[in-house]
Amino acid sequence: MSKVEKFEDLKIWQDGINLSIHVYQTLGTCRDFSFKDQMCRAAVSVPSNIAEGFERHSNKEFIRFLRIAKGSSGELRTQIYIAMGTGLITEEKGTELISKSRLLSAMIQNLIKTRETNF
């Protein structure tokens, strides 16, 4: 494993960026602008909070922001379920996004546990 020197080195940040891009692409033609905005904000919040916490250079602060990022991931999943239920996105696309979000949440939780135990 290579040394993490900047937040861009973190796999969870990279996956958060990819998930955000995927959400934006999925909602590209969505005409429910307020819902689209809310979903995109939740998606963007995940990697943004990971980056902000990392840049604080404090383990306690990093863990706090990782928890916020994890919460945003849960918020996003809820919105994906609503988008599927209302027909804004297909079940296939929604299931894919939910899977990516769950995996990212698990990765964030694992990093929280590691940081709580080892630092």
Q: What is the CATH number of the domain that holds 40?
A: 1.20.1440.60
Whether 101 is in a domain gets the answer yes
Whether 93 is in a domain gets the answer yes
Per-residue pLDDT tens listing for the chain (119 residues)? 578 899 999 999 999 999 999 999 999 999 999 999 999 999 999 999 999 999 999 999 999 999 999 999 999 999 999 999 999 999 999 999 999 999 999 999 999 999 999 87
Whether 105 is in a domain gets the answer yes
pTM, 2 dp: 0.95
Residue 36, CA distances (Å) to 41, 44, 54, 83 in order: 8, 12, 28, 9
Sorted by sequence, the CB contacts under 8 Å of residue 48 that are 6+ apart come out as 69
Q: Which domain holds residue 78?
A: 10-16+32-118
Whether 85 is in a domain gets the answer yes
Whether 40 is in a domain gets the answer yes
